[in-house]
C-alpha cells in the first residue's frame, strides 16, 4: 500500500474535495486563507550530513512551497518539533525562523515533545485574493504545461552529484513565482514534491483532460549526463518547483524562470514523447 492509495481511503472518510489541492482553502472575510501541514522525519527526509539548521529550513520550505502553489502570499507558520536531543532545538528553530524570514512569513507558534526520531511538522498559512487563487483543477486542452526552475536536482544530490547538495538540503520554495504566475492567469498549479511524473498523475486525477510532455524540453540538472538527468527530472523527489498549466500567451511571465515542457490534451492520459508515462516517483510505502 502506498500514500496515494491511502489518500483515497481518507477521501471516503472526509469530503474527497479536501484532498484535491496542496492547501486547504478557508474563506476569511474578503480574502482566502490557504493552509498546509507537512511532516518530516529524520530517516526519510533528513539526508546524512544535513545540519539542524537545514532540517528547520526544509520543514518550513516544504510547507511554503504548498502555499506558493496556490498563488498565495505566506503569512504565518507553526512548527511542531518531536525532539530526540535537546541540543538540536536551537539550530532547528533558527533554520525555521530564517526560512520564514526569507519568504515573508513569521514563525508564530508550534509544539514540542520528546521523540525517538526527530520529527518536524510545519503548518503554513497563506493569503490570497479570491480572483488569484489557483488550484490543481482548471487545466484546459491547448494550455501549455510548464515548470519553474530545474528538475531532478535533489535526487541528483542523493545519487552523489555533490554540486546539487544545496538544492537537496536547502530547497527554495517558489513563493514569488507562485504569486506572479497566479496574477498572470495560469489555469492550474501544484508543487512537485514527489517528482514530475507523480505530479502529472495528481493533476490528471482532478482534471477532465490529459498531459503530453516532451522529454527533450525538460530542464535537467546541470553537470549530469542527459540520460540520467532525464530520469531524475521525471521520477526524482524533493525538488519543490511549481508545475502549472497556462492558456496560450500567458508564458513567459516577467521575472519567472520557467520552461514549457508540453501541452494539455483532450485524452485523459499522461504521455511522454507520445507513450504513456510510468506513474513512478517518491512515495511513502507500507509493507503488507
Ligand X SMILES: Cc1ncc(C[n+]2csc(CCOP(=O)(O)O)c2C)c(N)n1
Q: Which residues are documented as binding site for substrate?
A: 45, 282
Q: Which stretch binds ligand ATP (CB under 6 A): 18-26, 71-79, 87-95, 100-108?
A: 18-26
Q: How far apart are CA 234 and CA 213, in angstroms?
A: 10
Q: How far apart are CA 73 and CA 147, in angstroms?
A: 19
Q: How far apart are CA 124 and CA 36, in angstroms?
A: 5
Q: How far apart are CA 80 and CA 123, in angstroms?
A: 8
Cβ nearer to ligand X, comparing 194 with 202 = 194
Rama region for 122: left / alpha / beta (φ>0; ψ in -120 to 50; rest): beta
Q: How far apart are CA 80 and CA 140, in angstroms?
A: 39
| Nearest-approach distance from CB 23 to Mg ion, in angstroms | 8
Interactions with ligand X, residue window 136-155 (CB under 6 A): 154
Running DSSP on this structure, what letter comes out for residue 104?
Answer: T
Interactions with ligand X, residue window 1-40 (CB under 6 A): 38
List the one residue from 95, 221, 238, 262 that touches ligand X (CB under 6 A). 238
Under rule CB under 6 A, residue 205 binds ligand ATP = no
Under rule CB under 6 A, residue 179 binds ligand ATP = no
Under rule CB under 6 A, residue 47 binds ligand X = yes
Give the count of alpha carbons within 13 A of 39, CB side only.
8
Which contiguous run of DSSP H or E holds residue 226?
helix 226-235
Question: Quick one: what does residue 216 bind among ligand ATP, Mg ion, ligand X, none, with the CB cut-off 5 to 8 Å set by partner type?
Answer: none
Bridge-partner residues for 112, per DSSP? 81
Q: Are 79 and 121 in contact (CB under 8 A)?
A: yes
Under rule CB under 6 A, residue 172 binds ligand ATP = no
Under rule CB under 6 A, residue 282 binds ligand X = yes
Contacts with ligand X by CB under 6 A lie at: 38, 44-45, 47, 62, 154, 158, 193-194, 237-238, 282
Residues interacting with ligand ATP, by CB under 6 A?
7, 10, 14, 19, 21-22, 36, 38, 62, 66, 193-194
Amino acid at each position: 500500500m502506498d500514500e496515494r492509495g491511502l489518500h483515497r481511503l481518507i477521501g471516503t472518510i472526509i469530503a474527497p474535495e479536501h484532498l484535491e489541492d496542496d492547501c486547504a482553502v478557508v474563506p476569511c472575510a474578503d480574502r482566502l486563507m490557504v493552509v498546509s501541514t507537512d511532516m518530516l522525519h529524520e530517516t526519510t527526509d533528513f539526508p546524512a550530513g544535513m545540519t539542524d539548521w537545514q532540517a528547520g529550513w526544509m520543514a518550513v520550505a516544504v510547507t511554503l512551497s504548498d502555499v506558493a502553489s496556490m498563488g498565495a502570499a505566506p503569512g504565518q507558520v507553526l512548527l511542531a518539533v518531536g525532539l530526540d536531543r535537546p541540543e538540536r532545538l536551537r539550530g532547528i528553530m533558527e533554520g525555521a525562523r530564517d526560512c520564514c524570514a526569507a519568504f515573508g512569513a513569521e514563525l508564530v507558534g508550534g509544539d514540542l515533545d520528546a521523540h525517538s526520531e526527530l520529527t518536524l511538522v510545519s503548518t503554513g498559512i497563506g493569503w490570497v485574493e479570491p480572483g488569484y487563487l489557483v488550484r490543481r483543477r482548471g487545466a484546459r486542452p491547448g494550455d501549455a504545461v510548464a515548470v519553474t526552475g530545474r528538475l531532478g536536482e535533489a535526487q541528483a544530490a542523493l545519487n552523489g552529484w555533490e554540486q546539487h547538495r544545496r538544492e537537496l538540503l536547502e530547497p527554495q520554495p517558489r513563493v514569488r513565482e507562485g504569486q506572479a504566475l497566479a496574477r498572470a492567469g495560469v489555469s492550474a498549479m501544484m508543487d512537485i514534491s514527489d517528482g514530475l511524473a507523480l505530479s502529472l498523475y495528481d493533476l490528471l486525477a482532478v482534471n477532465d483532460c490529459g498531459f503530453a510532455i516532451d522529454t527533450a524540453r525538460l530542464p535537467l540538472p546541470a553537470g549530469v549526463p542527459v540520460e540520467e538527468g532525464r530520469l531524475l527530472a521525471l521520477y526524482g523527489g524533493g525538488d519543490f518547483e511549481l508545475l502549472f498549466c497556462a492558456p496560450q500567451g500567458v508564458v513567459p511571465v516577467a521575472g519567472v524562470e520557467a520552461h514549457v515542457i508540453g501541452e494539455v490534451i483532450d485524452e485523459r492520459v499522461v504521455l511522454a514523447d507520445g507513450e504513456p508515462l510510468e506513474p513512478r516517483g517518491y512515495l511513502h510505502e507500507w509493507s503488507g
